[in-house]
Amino acid sequence: MRVYNFGAGPCALPVDVLEEVRSELLDYQGTGMSLIEMSHRSATYDRVHRRAMDLAREMAACPDDFEVLFVQGGATLQFSMVPLNLLEDGQRAGYVLSGSWARKAYADASKIGDAYPAWDGGSDAYRRMPSPGEVVIADRTRYLHVTTNETIDGIRMPEFPDVPVPLVADMSSELLARRIDWSRFGIVYGGIQKNLGPAGLAVVYLRRDLPLASGLPSYLSYRWHVESASLGNTPAMFQIYVMGKVLERLVARGGVDALERETREKAELVYRVIDDSDGFYRNPVEPAHRSHTNVVFRLPDEQLEAEFLAAAQNEGLVGLKGHRSVGGLRASLYSGVTRQAVEALADFMRSFHASH
Residues that bind ligand PLP in the complex, under the rule CB under 6 A: 9, 74-76, 101, 147, 151, 170, 172-173, 191, 193
Of the listed 108, 119, 194, 321, which one is catalytic?
Answer: 194
Positive/negative CA dihedral, 239, 264, 180, 165: negative
Nearer to ligand PLP, 125 or 349 (CB): 125
Nearer to ligand PLP, 119 or 280 (CB): 119
Give, in degrees to the nearest 5, the angle at Cα 22 between 21 and 27.
Answer: 85
DSSP-derived secondary structure for 154-175? TEE-SS----SS-EEEE-GGGT
Q: Minimum Å distance from CB 29 to ligand PLP?
A: 29
| Helices and strands (H, E) in the chain, number of each type | 9, 13
3-state secondary structure of 87: coil
Q: Minimum Å distance from CB 192 to ligand PLP?
A: 8
Closest CA to 151 of 110, 83, 104, 197: 104
Q: Are 354 and 30 in contact (CB under 8 A)?
A: no
Q: Is 321 a catalytic residue?
A: no
Q: Minimum Å distance from CB 139 to ligand PLP?
A: 28
DSSP-derived secondary structure for 302-329? HHHHHHHHHHHHHTTEE--BPPTTT-SE
Q: Which residues pair with 203 in a beta bridge?
A: 70, 190
Q: Is 170 a catalytic residue?
A: yes
Of the listed 170, 224, 245, 321, which one is catalytic?
Answer: 170
The residue sitting closest to ligand PLP, measured at its beta carbon, is 74
Closest CA to 297 of 272, 317, 316, 314: 272
Number of residues assigned to the chain? 356
Q: Minimum Å distance from CB 270 to ligand PLP?
A: 18
Work out the number of other CB atoms within 10 angstroms of the CB of residue 311: 15
Q: Which residues pair with 187 in a beta bridge?
A: 168, 206
Phi-psi region of 201 (alpha: psi -120 to 50; beta: other; left: phi over 0): beta
Nearer to ligand PLP, 173 or 263 (CB): 173
Nearer to ligand PLP, 172 or 195 (CB): 172
Nearer to ligand PLP, 172 or 230 (CB): 172
Nearer to ligand PLP, 28 or 335 (CB): 335
Q: Minimum Å distance from CB 324 to ligand PLP?
A: 12
Is the backbone peptide bond immediately before 10 cis, with ω within 30 degrees of 0?
Answer: yes
Q: Is 194 a catalytic residue?
A: yes
Q: Minimum Å distance from CB 103 to ligand PLP?
A: 11
- Please identify every residue annotated as catalytic: 101, 170, 194
